[in-house]
Amino acid sequence: MIREHLYQEYIEEIDRLERSIVELEERINKLKMQLRLKVDEANSLAIENANLRHRLELMERREKTLTELLRSLKLPHVIINEEDFEDVDVDLGPGLKDDQKP
């Protein structure tokens, strides 16, 4: 009788441990999936970043080439660095709006 009761407790504990193991395995699988998704997202962002850097380099080279061409042609030109200026509201005068011509 005592043996049967003791065995039953061991069996219940083994069952509980097996259920815990299954739950942990499921949690590990979910975490692996989340990790894969984050790695994929990070890779996509890295690729996008590299593409944007490449495009920026091309635009900068194009701008430099055009500036050199204008200088070599000795054409008058004005180069404005947009970063040195702030947006300014302009008062067009009484009765004039942005969409109307004077």
The predicted-structure confidence for 25-74, as pLDDT tens digits, reads as follows: 999 999 999 999 999 999 999 999 999 999 999 999 999 998 899 889 98
Q: How far apart are CA 57 and CA 63, in angstroms?
A: 10
Residues above pLDDT 70, as percent of the chain:
82
Give me the residue spans of the domains in the chain. Answer: 2-75
Kindly state the tokens that stand for 41.
């997202």
DSSP letters of 76-102? ------GGG---------TT--TTS--
Q: How far apart are CA 54 and CA 65, in angstroms?
A: 16
Kindly state the tokens that stand for 88.
């300014």
What is the model's pLDDT at position 44? Answer: 97
Residue 24 has pLDDT above 90, yes or no: yes
The predicted-structure confidence for 63-83, as pLDDT tens digits, reads as follows: 999 889 988 998 777 777 777
